[in-house]
Structure 1
Amino acid sequence: MRNLAVIALAIRIGIALATCTFFQPDEYFQSLEVAHHLVFGYGQLTWEWLTPKPIRSIVYPALNVPIYWILKMLNLDGTAALILFSLTSFFHGLSLSRSISNSVETSLTTMALSYFPWDVSLPRWRALVLIALVGLDSLYYGKLTLTPVNFLLTNASSVSLFYGRSPWHYYLSQALPVLATTALPWVLHGAYLARGSSAPAPLRVLFGLLVWTISVYSLAGHKEWRFLHPLLPSMHVLAAKSFVDSRGAKGGSSSGPLLARRLLITLSVPALIYVTFFHERAQVAVMHHLRHLAPETSRSIGFLMPCHSTPWQAYLHRPDLNNDGVLWALGCEPPLQGQDVTDYQDQTDIFFASPLEYLETRFPDRVNATFPPSFLPRSKPGVDAGGFHPWRHEWPQVLVFFGALLDDPDVRKLLLALGYEEDWKAEYGWEGDSRRRGGVRVWRYLDHI
């Protein structure tokens, strides 16, 4: 069993080190970017951190602070069935090793359940830990801040619907199949085994936890697969129970059915390899490319992409671009001032509604070869613009966008006429969002060279 644990740990570390793809903006902008900003003093903080009532806790990003601090100080800026289900889990491979808060929530939930039920007469230190965490948030924001309360109130409002609305059955019809993938038959059978009073108490607790959490989460309008990620280890426990019981029921001597079942479980491995090495890899690779550009050939960089499509200074780490006016991306601030979420449009929405019109009305007629900072290239997080969108840009030396933008021949014609030429491109895998198709392109202004 100890050897299996070592193997499992080695595989998890290997996946974490090998992952070179993009999954979800929060893995950067709610963790690494915040830690980078805290240590180095520059980077991009989203509205969740800058609103008068912040909804994000510094606790999780702080886990990355020692790593960045060490780099700064050193000046180096530049069970067998259960383990089988866990290690072949597509969603674990996709998300667990990434720097996203749901990953640590998954780990902490698993550890908490391993000690359940708690002896309430003993853990006084746990209350002290919670008080310390509140104190850490208040220290970071410079005022008394209860981020869990602010988070709950914000997400209970219409603001969360700005990020999408899903039907009540979303977690049952979409999230569970995606999270469990090929383990789904065993998860469902394990849940069936755990539902009755004759089932072992731990299984009934896990089954009740799943039913309660999914039911409560289904009441919210905005839903995402990853919100259920902390429940996935519990699903694997139920799946392992089903797997072991079904093997015993068949006598356990026939290797054929057992091999077939194991093969079915491991069918998710090819998908895991795909999302680890290929899917949306270009969105990470472009930051490595930009990081190594000479400062004189990349004095300003603009991203004409859906907001948060790439990592930011946590990967770029270029203090020469420590200014929103010289390093900018389109914003997507939510309707924090009570605007009607059905009519509200952020900067990204307005740009992609008519890219050519945006480029012709909010940029100068020609490129200023000194590349001055843009006056207001994106919305200010947490600041009420009063319904007015005064975005104004200067043409940057480097433009980054998805190839789909060039499907409009007039946009391509405009960029060529201004003196931009393609400098770098990369495309990996399939992309469902039409705005993000065509790979990542880097175009650089070359007329002055």
Structure 2
Amino acid sequence: MKAPRLLQSVFAAVGDLYSYKLSAVLFGDNVAKWALFSQLANWFMFYCSVRTLSNSLETVLTVVSLYFWPCMRSSSRSSTVSRKWGLVLAALACAIRPTSAIIWLYVGLLEFSKARNKLKLLFLEVAPIGMLVLGLTCLLDRIMYGTWILVPLNFLKFNFLSSGGDYYGTHKWHWYFTQGFPVMIFSFLPFCSAGIIYSKQWRYACLLAWVMGLYSVLGHKEFRFVLPVLPIALIFSGYCLAVIEDPGLPGYKGKESPKKRTKRSLKLILAVIFLLATNIPMALYMSLVHQRGPEDVMNHLAREARDGKVKNILFLTPCHATPYYSLLHHDLPMRFLDCTPSEERGVIDESDRFLMDPVPFLLEYAKNMSLPSHIVLFDSEEQKLNNLLNSYGYREERRFFNAHFKVDRELQASIVIYVHIGR
């Protein structure tokens, strides 16, 4: 049950290591030390880097790959790495998340503009590696789907050409700049901004702007979509902290008076205290408290299933609101409300139909399907279905805390398990 998370934690550690190595290549060991501090102290990296999301692995592959691209290093150190490793890792990132191509289009064009032998780069490196990774992913999809399918093409059609992602909600075009990314980087934002100005590493600053700019074109936006560039912003934060510690950094032209020298240590201590005091509570609350209900529910159901007390489960929640077999680990029939986008506009999916009017939905379900042994739902819907559930012979078994405040929809303060005990 814990193996996927443990594996992702190993990947996250690799990402931390290469964030350190990348910042050391760019700015030296002192900046790398503070970049690693920023990476480890940032609440969103703490919250998201060890989660088993494709974006988390994409972030690791992005950071490691950037380390191997000559164009993303200083010119004096660009010859010490193999660009082929960067290409392989970039291709893997695109295979996992096709939108990762946004990052590698920028890096690739920059590398192409600096390459001495452009034909060699295109035909002896990019093409063979790209075709190999694409072929392997197509073969894997053929095995899993049972038919030949080009997933990146379908991904492109759904998310870019048809704006299918908008089905799951949209935000204003400026959301990443004014809300999304500032929330992710949080109190490191002023340090990141100062680090960009002090370091004058415009290649990486432009990469940040490029990624958020292109993602802003899409209507559907999520924090995790721009997670791969968060480590870059935190490297800039590390640069700023290093400047506070030592204003004599090679890339920083500031001068230090004797009076400033005496205040340097105090400023650094206050900065570190400020960053830890703002990020640690946020990291702990978001990781251990906020919206923990679905996981508690699945852990409870897994224990009950192990004791043979669960026959089948119906999730009357917004689709994908809870983990599934990844936490249950028992071969039991389960069903959740479908939210597959329809090709016809205006067609309401099953999940939305339930949320709009839960009682008629459950009545119709009871007519056509056998009643499950357990039903899981949030308290916001439970209030409307309580009497009906009781009439069908269901009683509350367990109630788990979920959230103190609402996020996307009405407050889901708790999540409840109802068990069928007969009429």
TM-score, L = length of structure 1: 0.68
Partner of 2:68: 115
Q: 1:263 to 1:14 in 2, by over 3 A?
A: farther
Asked if the contact 1:88/1:269 (under 8 Å) is kept, the reply is yes
Cα offset, 1:430, TM superposition: 2.0
Establish whether residue 349 from structure 1 lines up as the match of residue 356 from structure 2: no
Q: Alignment partner for residue 440 of structure 1, among 392, 415, 418? A: 415
- Select which of 205, 230, 233 maps to 2:231: 233
Give the gaps of 5 or more residues in structure 1: 1-8, 17-78, 365-391
Match for residue 360 of structure 1 among 354, 360, 363: 363
- 2:372 paired residue among 375, 396, 399: 396
Give the alignment of 1:2-151 within 5 angstroms.
79-117=32-70, 118=83, 123=125, 126-127=129-130, 128-151=132-155
Amino acid at match of 1:80: K
In proportion to residue count, which structure has more helix?
A: 2
Q: 1:396 to 1:435 in 2, by over 3 A?
A: farther
Q: Distance in 1 between matches of 2:319 and 2:220?
A: 19
* Structure 2, unaligned runs of 5 or more: 1-5, 14-31, 71-82, 85-119, 248-255
Cα displacement (A) at 1:130: 4.4
Per-residue CA shift, 1:367-400, capped at 9, x if unaligned? xxxxxxxxxxxxxxxxxxxxxxxxx333212111
Q: Distance in 1 between matches of 2:396 and 2:230?
A: 43
TM-score (norm 2): 0.72
Candidates 319, 323, 330, aligned match of 1:311: 323
Q: CA RMSD in A?
A: 2.7
When residues 207 and 15 of structure 1 are mapped into structure 2, their CA distance, relative to the original with a 3 A threshold, is closer
Listed one character per residue, the Cα deviations across residues 273-313 of structure 1 (whole Å, up to 9, x for unaligned) are 11222222221111121122257642221111111111111
Alpha-carbon spacing, 1:239–1:296, altered in 2? closer, same or farther (3 Å): closer
Partner of 1:261: 271
Measure how far apart 1:123 and its partner are.
4.9
Conserved in 1, the CA contact under 8 Å of 2:402 and 2:415?
no
Deviations 1:139-175 (A, max 9, x none): 4333333222221111011311101111110110111
Aligned counterparts, 1:265-344, within 5 A: 265-266=275-276, 267-294=278-305, 297-319=309-331, 321=332, 323=333, 327-335=334-342, 337=343, 339-340=344-345, 343-344=346-347
Whole-angstrom CA distance in 2 between matches of 1:407 and 1:232? 40
What is residue 194 of structure 2 aligned with on the other side? Answer: 189
CA displacement, residues 115-157 of structure 1 (integer Å, 9 cap, x when unaligned): 1223766857734344433433334333333222221111011
> Is residue 242 of structure 1 aligned with residue 254 of structure 2?
no
Where 2:246 maps in the other structure, the secondary structure is helix
* Conservation of the 8 A alpha-carbon contact between 2:39 and 2:231: yes
Which structure exhibits the higher relative contact order, with contacts defined as CA atoms closer than 8 Å and separated by 6 or more residues? 1
**C-alpha separation between the residues in 1 aligned to 2:361 and 2:147?**
39
| Residue pair 2:163, 2:218 contacting (<8 A) in 1 also | no
Q: How far does residue 232 in structure 1 lie from its aligned partner after superposition?
A: 0.6
Residue 383 (structure 2) aligns with: 407
8 A Cα contact 1:85 1:236, kept in partner: yes
Q: Cα 1:93–1:394, aligned 2, differ >3 Å: closer, same or farther?
A: same
Structure 1 pair 436/304, CA: closer, same or farther in 2 (3 Å)? farther
The CA deviation at 1:14 is 12
Contact 1:165 1:223 in 2 (8 A): yes
1:258 to 1:132, Cα distance in 2 relative to 1, 3 A = same
Question: Counterparts of 2:288 and 2:397 in 1: how far apart (Å)?
Answer: 23
Distance 2:154 2:268 in 1: 50
The residue aligned with 2:168 is: 163
CA distance in 2, matches of 1:344, 1:264: 49
Would you say the 8 A contact 2:396–2:419 is kept in 1? Answer: yes
